[in-house]
Structure formats: C-alpha cells, structure tokens
Amino acid sequence: MVSFDSFKPTDGAGPIYVQIVRHIKSEIAAGRTENGDELPSRRVLSALLGINPNTIQKAYRILEDEGIINSHAGAKSYVTVSPELMEALKAELAESELLSSVTALKKVGLTKAEAMELFEKLWERR
C-alpha cells in the first residue's frame, strides 16, 4: 500500500492535489512503492489527510491520465508503472529538484562554478 505517513501538505508548494501527485510519484521513483501496490481509497485518504475527497479524486485522475495508476469505479486503485514510465518519473522529479536548487543557489549569489564545486562536495558526503 502506498504510504502517506511522511506526507505533509505545505503552504506555498502548490495546490494540495499537486502535492499528492508529487508524493506518489516520489514514492514510486524512490522504489518505496512498486508496480501493483494498492493506493488508499479516496475516502480513506481524504479522512487520513483531513482534506476534501474531491481533492483526492483530482490527484488520482491526474495519475490515471498519466498512466501511473489504474482505477475502476467501485474498485481499488493500483500503481501500474512500466519501466519506461519509471525512468521518465525519475527524470521528471530529478529535474524539478535540481531546478529548485539552481534557483536557490542563484538567489544566494553563487556562480555556476561555485555551485558545481558545492554540488561535488555534497555528492561525496552522501
């Protein structure tokens, strides 16, 4: 089952449905959620997160449209990610995270060379 234990809606991080979509994609890309894993029902997730069921419905619809989950009326929803889609998810999330980092580094006045030096230093620590 896809876990929402670590999910916390954040002000300024976009609409909640987008944050839910991003969370599920991150769980899949990180390997914490695999093909065939079940998602909580819309009602259960709504109650768990304390948000409107229509918000959950919107997030699930986006995931369905992108081919990430498979749902049927009255049935459970499951992750259905092909290897190609998995690679695309990883690339999408990495690009998004890097773009945020680049924006933050530019705001503090680092040059590209300084940012790359910092990146390499931090990369080696991990």
Domain ranges of the chain: 1-81, 86-126
Amino acid at 108: V
Question: How confident is the model over 77-100, as a mean pLDDT?
Answer: 92
44 CB burial (10 A radius; 0-12, 13-18, 19+):
middle
Q: Are strands 38-39 and 69-70 parallel, antiparallel or unpaired?
A: unpaired
Cβ atoms within 10 Å, residue 114? 12
**What fold does the segment set 1-81 form as a domain?**
Arc Repressor Mutant, subunit A (1.10.10)
Distance CA(115)–CA(104), nearest Å, equals 10
**Which residue type sits at 60?**
Y
pLDDT at 61 over 80: yes
Enter the pTM of the model. 0.82
101-113: pLDDT as tens digits: 999 999 999 999 9
Residues 79 and 35: beta-carbon distance below 8 Å: yes
